[in-house]
Amino acid sequence: MKKDLHPSNYRLVVFKDMSNDYAFMTKSCIESKETVKWEDGNEYPLVKLEISHTSHPYYTGKMKLVDTAGRIDKFRNRYTKK
């Protein structure tokens, strides 16, 4: 195998799903400027996620439609006239 191919700075990092406030800790080498106090009382780097296995429709079985600023309604109104 090639030497120095994989990063050597693995450490414990907290990943937080911002859509449902689910957080989990795992080892990663991702860079983060934020930290969070974990259940054991120690501070760890925090990485914010938009979606995780607890909020993804494939894993939850629930389809969630996010309509930002009525874009879907605007689209429907535009094309229902024809």
Greatest alpha-carbon span in the chain: 63
Q: What is the pLDDT of residues 30-52, one digit of tens each?
A: 999 999 999 999 999 999 988 88
Q: What is the pLDDT of residue 4?
A: 83
Q: Is the pLDDT of residue 65 over 60?
A: no
Residue-range domain boundaries for the chain: 11-80
- Rounded-to-integer distance, Cα 23 and Cα 20, Å: 9
Q: What is the pTM of this model?
A: 0.66
- Give the HSE-up count for residue 57: Cα atoms under 13 Å, Cβ half-sphere: 5
- Rounded-to-integer distance, Cα 82 and Cα 77, Å: 10
DSSP character at residue 19 = T
Q: Which two tokens stand for residue 71?
A: 């874009």
**Lowest-pLDDT choice from 2-6, 59-63, 75-79:** 59-63
**Mean pLDDT over residues 12-41, rounded?**
92
Residue 5: pLDDT band (50, 70, 90) is confident
